[in-house]
RNA sequence: GGGACCGUAGUUCAACUGGUUAGAGCACCGCCCUGUCACGGCGGAAGUUGCGGGUUCGAAUCCCGUCGGUCCCGCCA
């Protein structure tokens, strides 16, 4: 149907005949000569319609609406010198049309314009309802291409490293813990249900038991939880697993993979190896396990300095086992007024949203004089004051913000304020600046955390992570040592977002059973839910481990987008609905009967 | 489950403190225009102000409910 792509034509093809196909980007009808910008995937070229070339041709051209699909036959010619368009890569030439075929018309007024020249914002609701039109626009076209390049690069890299891609089931069984499952009723097995996988976790481990040694998959995962700008009910992981690899070796390989992606997709050389922070250090210094290290304002514990103060908010917090931590806002005296950090102010409110009761502050004035509320000033002696200024490295003009109370809440509040202030004060470098890609490995996670509601242990990552050998000691002490053990787990954090995570897995069936018991499963439950895994581990399972990267998030960051919806061809809304197909939808009574399912939803008439 | 913001012509926005005929750009339709490139000129059509209720002499505007979208908390091993 066509000889060339619109955007590929250049002056050296002048006087050759071409056939082009594409969409009408826009028309300029001068009454005599008519110009059509014809657009296809490769770009745009100007088609010129000369009235001398026939009435029929001219009449057709006059009637064209934007986004009409055309085939053009014509000849490439140079534009008059004064008409060269330098903004267009094909701007030196044009195609003199000898024939126009309308391949498809546009029958109604378009809900929004496709042309790149119309950069008016479009409501996301409309974009999603007519996603096919949105995909035709430059932004989404580029994002999907970038996504493809990311996945392509990963595939090439992993193939070079002797990984093979294996598909794992989408219809599988529901497993305890973790997110809510999407369920699929079985027609054949009455009353029983499949679950869609939250990740291929168990299957990839069993592939290792199967001796594949190096597996990867671009895997669709499903979690029936509430959505966010970086969470969709179905999302894509680049899933890897390998045998006979240490944590260091796995990390090294994956850094190379990430560096390769950044190099191929963005042309950016990342510096390897990535820095590494233990989970404990991350919590101490940033209050979160996914710190954004593009800016400072680290959290500083001042427990030792303030524990004996008369100011009960501080000393009391420590007496009851909590902490007092602070961040130093450089030049904060100028940038943050008292109105903003006192009750009702935006900064105070941020702290409150994270559960903090208040937000104490100290302003450093000339000659290290301090300016704060009376209760703090009165109870702070000179030595404490000096220690505090030294520890926080606060200088004249700086503002120190304090969190006091339960360590967990202090961390959460200061983390939140830190991120909020970084945005407010413009401390985050331009995302296209090479220095702004701050990768960071977080390691040595705790195996478990306490579920407050149910007063029991829960796996922090998942219950298949291997514990640190030194932490658990000999077999007889496993039960006693496991709750405090660290896991051989690692997350890759980029600019405050978790983009991947993994671990070495347990390959010893006894230890695996012990971990299951720690999270409250009894022998029967272990046998019922995970019998197949335990059995597999007893038949020669190799030491193995792996990682999974969130492709949607990685592409989002590479594309500079703020939502993963802009990296997914057909995403769902926050209500997990597809506005284009209107899924999910009601099905017939017959379909339900076949599946042995009854609808308990009360319909309103 | 909870909090916040938003919803006006096909579309992007406007309409002051509640005030009488709800405006503008783009798109659309018609006429004119032979070198434009976000072409230009003249004219036209286009509205259940998401929906339902309330307050008021009077509601796009205030209140309640509801639907939809977005952001966030909870949740997401």
A33 by Cβ neighbours in 10 Å (0-12 / 13-18 / 19+) ranks as middle
Mention every residue, 6+ apart, whose C-beta is less than 8 A from residue A452. Answer: none
What ipTM describes this predicted complex? Answer: 0.93
Tell if A178 CB is < 7 Å from nucleic strand B: yes
Residue A605: its pLDDT value, please? 35
In this complex, the nucleotide whose C1' atom is nearest to the CA atom of residue A112 is B11
Residue A286: its pLDDT value, please? 95
| A113 CA vs B8 C1’ separation (Å) | 20
| A349 CA vs B17 C1’ separation (Å) | 30
Residue A188: its pLDDT value, please? 97
Q: Which of residues 1-30 of A touch strand B (CB under 7 A)?
A: 26, 28-30
Query: Residue A166's closest CA among A206, A224, A194, A119?
Result: A206
Chain B, protein-covered positions (CB within 7 A): 1, 10-13, 25-29, 32-40, 68-77
| A225 CA vs B75 C1’ separation (Å) | 7
Contact A532, A107 (CB under 8 A): no
CA A288 – CA A290 distance, rounded (Å)? 5
| A440 CA vs B53 C1’ separation (Å) | 55
Q: Which of residues 348-367 of A touch strand B (CB under 7 A)?
A: 353
Q: Would you give the end-to-end CA distance of chain A in angstroms?
A: 53
| A123 CA vs B18 C1’ separation (Å) | 29
Q: What are phi and psi of A440, to 5 degrees?
A: -160, 125
Tell if A387 CB is < 7 Å from nucleic strand B: no
Q: Which of residues 453-512 of A touch strand B (CB under 7 A)?
A: 458-463
Torsion-angle region of A31 (φ positive above 0: left; ψ -120 to 50: alpha; else: beta): left
CA A139 – CA A561 distance, rounded (Å)? 10
**Cα–Cα distances in Å, from A155 out to A151, A241, A363?**
6, 14, 54
Q: Which of residues 65-104 of A touch strand B (CB under 7 A)?
A: 65-66, 79-80, 82-85, 87-88, 91, 94
Mention every residue, 6+ apart, whose C-beta is less than 8 A from residue A515. Answer: A447, A459, A463, A464, A467, A482, A506
Contact A467, A447 (CB under 8 A): yes
Residue A431: its pLDDT value, please? 59
> In chain A, how many H helices and how many E strands?
21, 22
Residue A454: its pLDDT value, please? 66
Mention every residue, 6+ apart, whose C-beta is less than 8 A from residue A428. Answer: A292, A294, A295, A422, A436
Tell if A43 CB is < 7 Å from nucleic strand B: no
Residue A432: its pLDDT value, please? 58
Strand, coil or helix: A97: strand
Q: Which residues of chain A have pLDDT under 50?
A: 604-605
Query: Residue A503's closest CA among A517, A515, A494?
Result: A515
> What are the E-state strand segments in A438-590?
439-443, 448-451, 456-459, 489-494, 497-504, 544-550
CA A45 – CA A47 distance, rounded (Å)? 6
Residue A191: its pLDDT value, please? 95
Residue A354: its pLDDT value, please? 85
Residue A604: its pLDDT value, please? 41
Query: Residue A550's closest CA among A490, A497, A488?
Result: A497
Q: Which of residues 421-460 of A touch strand B (CB under 7 A)?
A: 458-460
Q: What is the pLDDT of residues A110-159, one digit of tens each?
A: 999 999 887 788 999 999 999 999 999 999 999 999 999 999 999 999 99
CA A270 – CA A263 distance, rounded (Å)? 8
Strand, coil or helix: A59: helix
* Residue A486 DSSP class: B
| A228 CA vs B72 C1’ separation (Å) | 9
In this complex, the nucleotide whose C1' atom is nearest to the CA atom of residue A462 is B77
Q: Which of residues 526-585 of A touch strand B (CB under 7 A)?
A: 563, 565, 573-575, 577, 579
């Amino acid at each position: 149907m066509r000889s060339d792509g619109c955007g590929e034509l250049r002056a050296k093809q002048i006087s050759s005949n071409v056939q082009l196909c594409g969409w009408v980007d826009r028309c300029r009808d001068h009454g005599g000569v008519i110009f059509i910008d014809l657009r296809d995937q490769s770009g745009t070229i100007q088609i010129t319609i000369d009235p001398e070339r026939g009435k029929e041709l001219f009449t057709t051209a006059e009637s064209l609406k934007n986004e009409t699909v055309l085939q053009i036959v014509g000849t490439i010619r140079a534009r008059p010198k004064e008409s060269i368009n330098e903004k267009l890569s094909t701007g030196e030439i044009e195609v003199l049309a000898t024939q126009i075929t309308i391949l498809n018309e546009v029958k109604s007024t378009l809900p929004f314009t496709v042309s790149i020249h119309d950069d008016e914002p479009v409501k996301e609701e409309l974009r999603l309802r007519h996603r096919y039109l949105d995909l035709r626009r430059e932004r989404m076209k580029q994002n999907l291409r970038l996504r493809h390049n990311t996945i392509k690069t990963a595939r090439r890299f992993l193939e070079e490293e002797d990984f093979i891609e294996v598909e794992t089931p989408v219809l599988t069984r529901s497993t305890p813990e973790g997110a809510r499952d999407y369920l699929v009723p079985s027609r054949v097995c009455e009353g029983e249900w499949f679950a869609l996988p939250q990740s291929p976790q168990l299957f990839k481990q069993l592939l290792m038991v199967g001796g594949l040694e190096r597996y990867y998959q671009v895997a669709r995962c499903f979690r029936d939880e509430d959505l966010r700008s970086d969470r969709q009910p179905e999302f894509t992981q680049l899933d890897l697993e390998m045998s006979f690899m240490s944590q260091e070796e796995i990390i090294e390989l994956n850094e190379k993979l990430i560096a390769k992606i950044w190099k191929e997709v963005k042309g950016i050389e990342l510096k390897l190896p990535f820095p590494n922070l233990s989970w404990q250090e991350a919590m101490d210094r940033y209050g979160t396990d996914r710190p954004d290290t593009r800016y400072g304002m680290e959290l500083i514990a001042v427990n030792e300095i303030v524990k004996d103060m008369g100011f009960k908010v501080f000393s009391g917090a420590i007496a009851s086992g909590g902490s007092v931590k602070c961040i130093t806002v450089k030049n904060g005296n100028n940038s943050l007024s008292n109105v903003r950090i006192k009750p009702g102010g935006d900064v105070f409110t941020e702290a409150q949203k994270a559960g903090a009761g208040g937000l104490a502050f100290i302003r450093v004035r000339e000659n290290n004089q301090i300016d704060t509320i009376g209760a703090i000033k009165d109870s702070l002696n000179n030595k404490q004051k000096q220690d505090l200024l030294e520890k926080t490295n606060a200088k004249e003009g700086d503002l120190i913000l304090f969190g006091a109370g339960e360590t967990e809440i202090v961390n959460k509040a200061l983390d939140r304020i830190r991120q909020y202030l970084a945005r407010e004060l413009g401390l985050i470098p331009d995302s296209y600046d090479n220095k702004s890609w701050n990768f960071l490995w977080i390691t040595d996670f705790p195996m478990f955390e306490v579920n407050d509601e149910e007063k029991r242990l829960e796996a922090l990552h998942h219950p298949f992570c291997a514990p640190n050998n030194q932490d658990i000691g000999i077999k007889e002490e496993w039960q006693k040592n496991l709750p405090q053990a660290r896991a051989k787990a690692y997350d890759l954090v980029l600019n405050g977002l978790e983009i991947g995570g993994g671990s070495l897995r347990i390959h010893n069936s006894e230890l695996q059973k012990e971990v299951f018991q720690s999270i409250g499963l009894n022998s029967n439950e272990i046998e019922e839910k995970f019998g197949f895994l335990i059995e597999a581990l007893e038949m020669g399972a190799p030491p193995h481990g792996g990682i999974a990267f969130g492709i949607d998030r990685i592409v989002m960051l590479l594309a500079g987008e703020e939502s993963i919806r802009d990296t997914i061809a057909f995403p769902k809304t926050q209500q997990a609905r597809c506005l284009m197909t209107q899924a999910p939808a009601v099905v017939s009574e017959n379909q339900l009967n076949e599946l042995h399912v009854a609808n308990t939803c009360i319909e309103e008439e």
